[in-house]
Structure 1
């Protein structure tokens, strides 16, 4: 399949930009907000050489509560992982295209702040604005700007991390997600481009860095990294990024960014800063811990200083079935799942019910959508009682297809290999 010219152009621009940013960082030509360069380099080195910690697949869920998460976390919908809550993919069966808010996963670095929308303001500042000025917007100010509604998934960069261990026998660090650190919603808000232009975006601006209003993040060794923040190139900020204040037709819930969050379609979830409180616009490249020691690829297959900061998500598929689900061997079952990609819409899903010996196409129930996923199904009756391995392999509009294995990186990001899903016919 030929890659669309627009996709090639976008990927080329992003790749060139990321390589330039990496060179600027390593050469000391960029500014690391809130953390000294010496501390950043120490953290960067630690991230690249950290002792790997084995992650168990399907770690037993704790009680359905999590420190700092506001909404209920029913056991049949979520697996609690520290300050995070992973959606159990089986619970999405029959829920429709958009993930219900009460099923939507939660990724918190610290805890959910309970903010009053009436008191909230967004401060836009920095030397990338004309006359290096500061401008404030209330929620009412944002709602006076043209509203945009966009369907897009948000997915943690570590989604699928457990399979580095459970499937490839490798050890990585980080939260032991299976495939439920993703959700697709209908977001409504204003274009970040409109807000930046109202604030006086200068021609010399190169980066914008949203910062959240959640509590400061303190590492295990006591280093206070401040509030979660991660820069975006101006080119992306002016493209399709939203400042969202609604989710599936309702005001944003507390756990998902109330009253306003950033939405960066197709990029890793950390880019979509929740509870945004200020945005710095800079005339020079910006860096933070969230694109230097976190959310980059480290390991033997990558440069000594790590890869460029991660941007687009990768391609994945998941069955809407419990792990080791019991299925009646005498019954024909309609098995369902979802596939998605950060690079293009899904155009094909091939499935195997015999561990990869044979493959057939699944039926797609949605048209390929940029920034969205596709639901699919396949009918299957087990030939006999026993243990079976289900596989699903997606292909997107750019020609990307899920590989058999994912190249190891020490922090377990962007796992995109075909997942081997066990079931039992009884």
Structure 2
């Protein structure tokens, strides 16, 4: 029987205390190097205007991305591709692979299934390392989960454009999210077959993409620890996306799916998993993917875990609508904490609010589509707002608490249109 997973806040407080006291082992990078990078991460960021300009003039391709990136569907942001949210209006509940955003730290590797293997190893096993091939994984009992994958920086640009706060990182609007139907093996099955020991506390999945260079330091391949209790709960080793083999840009042959947690946890192109009987840390939960700034201690917040609450219109920013003609406003809302309970819409900048009609059954770790009718009356500029409330009672705030790296923006987004 699986242990009950600790709340992420409890786990994060424990790991943060262990990291500060030097009791968590750094995997692949010296502690002094991480401390140096930590000082850089905690400094005030600079939201790159050049990055915004290049995104507006982006070519329909990005270095290291395999699939086509038509400009009506994607905005290219460096090595990444953001889904234009308006392009989702013509899709269903699931995000097609052709429309699914791409977050690459380097570039998409091309890996043949016949050559792939997963190595499970470490002090948290009862015996030596165990290898699984692609066919071995597919022979395990399959599980299907519908879940979103969302970059922790989704919505980052609004810290600057709405709140006039300078942050660092990719200038995402709200399109660094997609919902897929993932099929694969339970991570718990793999760990138990590998000989998980009773004293195991953390696992460290690692990708097969190229090593990451940051501030002149080689951080190694992308990797981020998970508590064993979470790994035994609902984590999936996925080999299918929407009933098809994973596309290269989305993790083929095998990726991790960690429902409701920030996107970095969902390691793509999985190559090995270290199982440890002592706490583990990596750059991706110490200097990156934590909250720094005036509202947080010098060493930052606890590492990010669950995603936050957001809403987006399936309508281009700055779109033109016709006065006196009924408009069907559509969009999507989602939360990593609890199922979305309700969505409210304002068409006058927040003076009046009306409930939207939910078109899906709300589920945690998923989004719900919604719609609302609007007849614009007067020509001129208008501001549309959408705010969600989840079943825990949390509602999107008017202002997001800032942090230097621009993570977890959750405020209501001001969506400008023009009535003609």
Q: 2:303 aligns with which of 309, 327, 337?
A: 309
Partner of 1:6: none
Q: Is the 8 A contact 1:61 1:81 kept in 2?
A: no
Cα separation, 2, equivalents of 1:52 and 1:332 = 42
In the superposition, the TM-score normalised over structure 2's length comes to 0.97
Cα deviation per residue 1:379-401 (whole Å; 9 max; x = unaligned)? 00111111100000001111111
Cα separation, 1, equivalents of 2:45 and 2:348 = 36
Partner of 2:192: 197
Paired residues, number: 415
- What residue ranges of structure 1 are gaps of 5+ in the alignment? 1-8
Alpha-carbon deviation of 1:22?
A: 0.2
Partner of 2:118: 122
Alpha-carbon deviation of 1:50?
A: 4.5
Partner of 1:135: 130
Cα separation, 2, equivalents of 1:61 and 1:286 = 41
Partner of 2:38: 44
Partner of 2:92: 96
| Secondary structure of residue in 1 paired with 2:305 | coil
Q: Is the 8 A contact 1:54 1:165 kept in 2?
A: no
Alpha-carbon deviation of 1:330?
A: 3.0
Alpha-carbon deviation of 1:51?
A: 4.2
Cα separation, 2, equivalents of 1:420 and 1:15 = 30
Q: Is the 8 A contact 1:334 1:378 kept in 2?
A: yes
Sort the Cα spacing of 1:57 and 1:399 in 2 relative to 1 into closer, same or farther, 3 A. Answer: farther
Question: Do structure 1's residue 244 and structure 2's residue 251 form an aligned pair?
Answer: no
Q: Is the 8 A contact 1:57 1:165 kept in 2?
A: no
Cα separation, 2, equivalents of 1:423 and 1:154 = 28
Partner of 1:153: 148
Question: Do structure 1's residue 296 and structure 2's residue 290 form an aligned pair?
Answer: yes
Partner of 1:105: 101
Partner of 1:168: 163
Cα separation, 2, equivalents of 1:268 and 1:246 = 20
Sort the Cα spacing of 1:54 and 1:405 in 2 relative to 1 into closer, same or farther, 3 A. Answer: farther
Report 1:322-401 matches (<5 A): 322-401=316-395
Partner of 2:204: 209
| Secondary structure of residue in 1 paired with 2:90 | coil
Cα separation, 2, equivalents of 1:359 and 1:39 = 50
| Secondary structure of residue in 1 paired with 2:351 | coil
Question: Do structure 1's residue 72 and structure 2's residue 99 form an aligned pair?
Answer: no
Q: Is the 8 A contact 1:18 1:308 kept in 2?
A: yes
Alpha-carbon deviation of 1:339?
A: 0.1
Cα separation, 1, equivalents of 2:75 and 2:163 = 22
Cα deviation per residue 1:88-109 (whole Å; 9 max; x = unaligned)? 0000003000001100000000
Q: Is the 8 A contact 1:145 1:190 kept in 2?
A: yes
Alpha-carbon deviation of 1:13?
A: 2.4
- What residue ranges of structure 2 are gaps of 5+ in the alignment? none
